[in-house]
């Protein structure tokens, strides 16, 4: 049985980080959160442009992303800041959603606090108190079955489907064989690969949900009245040799590995307790996709990329892997692994899968990703399902 | 001999994945699931791009990963570069839906 050293939480989940999150409930609290995070050791701010004057389904989606992110086991404590309460996504609403986890939570309302300066002081004090208590917590050995493993790909090229994606799938298989759970999202990139994906579903019910998810995403694309080409595949995909969304999809779905799909999840919703591979509804937009996976509770994510990438989630360490030597040479400042030896015949896919597994385990034990070290936590984004009004 | 990588036996295209770039006129073999095809490249094939292993007629499916990745928009000869200039997606075509 493989173990890792993590931070056990009151609800039975285990964090691989002990982050103090300063969470903006609304766009107007962004800079306050960023300023306080700059003052407090170990604190990270999450900023976003939403939280007010959205149509109801869209506002509920914002709340789901913010609450799920705060509830993620990597967050040891959270201070949520809002501006002036709006029904349906207040700091108190988000705190209530997070409270079943039993973690340390505080809320601040800028108007009720008497304005920006007072609210900044209050947020700083809460943050300092929580940081003191988090600093008492220690890592403990826990089974790998506590891990929810996220998988994503982006800036894909031909190498993705032939090396880094299938190797990531083999890593996922290994985590699942130890009782863990994996999440693969990006419904747009199942288009054209549905037959293969549904053949892996454990039941007709799950297969039907996958097909309905793809139909829904394709309908949203068709409703634009425009050809999806140009957006999917993206310009950099096409330059890399990917011709159509179908080709991109087949390569993307190689991340699924050889494990059966045990269930289909709506975007940013946590998986069930059953070990195995879960597929999640969501867009191909990398930051939205990994943010939905973090909001579902994944503690770590492998991002497979042909062209190289800087993508990195604020509270979910994001390990970057490429199978393209040139991309490694150009982008290794923010990348952990180079598996291009697969295409040169130097290493097998199984060896590449083991390299990724070893890196995931080291990261769970506390090894920092390069993006964490460089504080380049650039990729929090909330999926939108409606308009601003 | 330069080679392209073929993922499944049913594939009618191979992929250039070695840094030794394929130039027009090169003799090209195959590795992966198909190893017995030799073609002459009819164009330069950039890294990561596809080359036809067999004739693909206009309207026929282009097969990679053992599955269709799109439809040929013109007759494709063995050795041709296969990409957006001669293949179109069958999916997500809001432009076609709008014409109906």
The angle subtended at Cα B44 by Cα B39 and Cα B48, nearest 5°, is 90
pLDDT at B58 over 90: yes
Give the span between the Cα atoms of B46 and A341, in whole angstroms.
19
What per-residue confidence (pLDDT) applies to B34? 82
pLDDT level of residue B100 (50, 70, 90 thresholds): low
pLDDT at B7 over 90: no
What per-residue confidence (pLDDT) applies to A211? 96
The answer to whether the Cβ–Cβ distance between B67 and A246 falls below 8 Å is: yes
What per-residue confidence (pLDDT) applies to B6? 84
Give the tokens for residue B28.
């090209």
The answer to whether the Cβ–Cβ distance between A343 and B91 falls below 8 Å is: no
What per-residue confidence (pLDDT) applies to B5? 86
Beta bridge partners of A75: A19
Q: Which residue has the higher pLDDT, A305 or B66?
A: A305
Cβ distance A187 to A273 under 8 Å? no
Classify residue A220 as left (phi > 0), alpha (psi -120 to 50) or beta: alpha
Give the span between the Cα atoms of A380 and A72, in whole angstroms.
14
- Our count of domains for chain B comes to 1
Which chain A residues touch B17 with a CB distance below 8 Å?
A: 158-159, 162, 343
The residue-averaged pLDDT of B71-96 equals 89
Which chain B residues touch A226 with a CB distance below 8 Å?
A: 94-95
The answer to whether the Cβ–Cβ distance between A243 and B82 falls below 8 Å is: yes
**Min Cα–Cα distance to chain B from A335, Å:** 20
What per-residue confidence (pLDDT) applies to B92? 65
The angle subtended at Cα A58 by Cα A53 and Cα A64, nearest 5°, is 115
Nearest beta carbon to residue B48 from set A226, A228, A241: A241
Give the tokens for residue B71.
């439809």
Angle subtended by helix axes A56-71 and A91-98, to nearest 10: 50
Interface membership of A232 toward B (CB under 8 Å): yes
**Min Cα–Cα distance to chain A from B74, Å:** 15
What per-residue confidence (pLDDT) applies to A178? 97
Phi, psi for residue B29 in degrees, rounded to 5 = -100, -170
Give the span between the Cα atoms of A293 and A295, in whole angstroms.
5
Closest CA to A231 of A269, A295, A285: A285
ipTM above 0.90, yes or no: yes
pLDDT tens for chain A, 389 residues long, are 999 999 999 999 999 999 999 999 999 999 999 999 999 999 999 999 999 889 999 999 999 999 999 999 999 999 999 998 778 999 999 999 999 999 999 999 999 999 999 999 999 999 999 999 999 999 999 999 999 999 999 988 888 998 999 999 999 999 999 999 999 999 988 887 888 899 999 999 999 999 999 999 988 888 888 766 556 688 878 888 889 888 888 888 989 999 999 999 999 999 999 999 999 999 989 999 999 999 999 999 999 999 999 999 999 999 999 999 999 999 999 999 999 988 877 888 899 999 999 999 999 999 999 999 999 999 999 999 988 88
Using alpha carbons, list the distances in angstroms from residue B37 to A72, B2, B78: 51, 12, 10
Q: Which domain holds residue B72?
A: 2-99
Task: Provide the number of CB pairs (under 8 Å) joining chain A to chain B.
Answer: 116
CATH number of the domain within which B76 lies: 2.30.130.110
**Min Cα–Cα distance to chain A from B24, Å:** 17
What per-residue confidence (pLDDT) applies to B57? 97
pLDDT level of residue B94 (50, 70, 90 thresholds): low
Q: For B14-40, what is each residue's pLDDT tens digit?
A: 999 888 899 999 999 998 778 889 999
Give the span between the Cα atoms of A286 and A268, in whole angstroms.
14
Report the largest interatomic distance among the alpha carbons of chain B, rounded to a whole angstrom: 49
Which residue in this structure is represented by tokens 């892997």?
A321
Which chain B residues touch A193 with a CB distance below 8 Å?
A: 67
Phi, psi for residue A349 in degrees, rounded to 5 = -60, -35
Closest CA to B6 of A162, A163, A352: A162
């Amino acid at each position: 049985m493989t173990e890792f050293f993590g931070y056990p939480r009151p609800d039975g989940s285990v964090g691989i980080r002990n982050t103090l999150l300063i969470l903006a409930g609304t766009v107007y609290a962004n800079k306050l959160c960023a300023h306080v995070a700059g003052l407090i050791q170990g604190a990270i701010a999450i900023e976003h442009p939403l939280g007010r004057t959205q149509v109801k389904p869209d506002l509920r989606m914002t709340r789901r992303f913010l609450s799920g992110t705060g509830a993620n086991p990597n967050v040891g404590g959270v201070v949520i800041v809002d501006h002036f309460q709006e029904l349906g996504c207040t700091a108190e609403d988000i705190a209530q959603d997070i409270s079943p986890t039993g973690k340390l939570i505080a809320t601040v309302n800028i108007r009720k606090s008497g304005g920006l300066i007072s609210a900044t002081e209050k947020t700083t004090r809460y943050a300092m108190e929580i940081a003191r208590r988090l600093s008492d917590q220690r890592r403990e050995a826990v089974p790998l079955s506590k891990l929810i493993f996220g998988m994503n790909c982006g800036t894909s090229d031909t190498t993705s489907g032939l090396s880094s994606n299938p190797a990531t799938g083999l890593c996922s298989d290994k985590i699942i064989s130890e009782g863990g759970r994996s999440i693969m999202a990006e419904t747009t990139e199942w288009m054209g690969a549905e037959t293969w994906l549904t053949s892996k579903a454990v039941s007709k019910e799950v297969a039907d949900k996958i097909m309905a998810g793809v139909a829904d995403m394709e309908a949203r694309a068709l409703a634009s009245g425009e050809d999806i080409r140009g957006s999917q595949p993206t310009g950099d995909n096409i330059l890399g040799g990917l011709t159509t969304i179908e080709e991109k999809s087949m390569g993307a779905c190689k991340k699924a590995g050889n494990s059966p799909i045990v269930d289909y999840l709506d975007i940013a919703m946590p998986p069930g307790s059953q070990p195995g591979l879960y597929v999640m509804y969501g867009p191909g937009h990398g930051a939205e996709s990994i943010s939905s996976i973090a909001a579902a509770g994944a503690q770590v994510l492998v991002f497979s990329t042909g062209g190289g990438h800087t993508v990195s989630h604020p509270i979910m360490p994001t390990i970057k892997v490429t199978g393209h030597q040139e991309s490694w040479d150009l982008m290794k400042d923010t990348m952990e692994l180079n598996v291009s030896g697969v295409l040169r015949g130097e290493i097998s896919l199984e060896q590449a899968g083991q390299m990724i597994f070893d890196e995931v385990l080291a990261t769970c034990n506390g090894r920092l990703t390069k993006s964490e070290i460089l504080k380049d936590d650039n990729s929090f984004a909330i999926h939108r399902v409606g308009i601003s009004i | 001999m330069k080679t392209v990588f073929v993922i499944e036996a049913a594939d009618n295209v191979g992929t250039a994945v070695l840094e030794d770039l394929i130039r027009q006129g090169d003799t090209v073999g195959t590795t992966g699931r198909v190893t017995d095809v030799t073609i002459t490249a009819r164009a330069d094939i950039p890294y990561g791009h596809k080359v036809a292993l067999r004739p693909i007629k206009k309207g026929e499916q282009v097969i990679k990963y053992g599955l269709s990745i799109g439809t040929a928009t013109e007759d494709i000869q063995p050795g041709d570069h296969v990409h957006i200039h001669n293949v179109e997606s069958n999916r997500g075509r809001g432009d076609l839906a709008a014409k109906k």
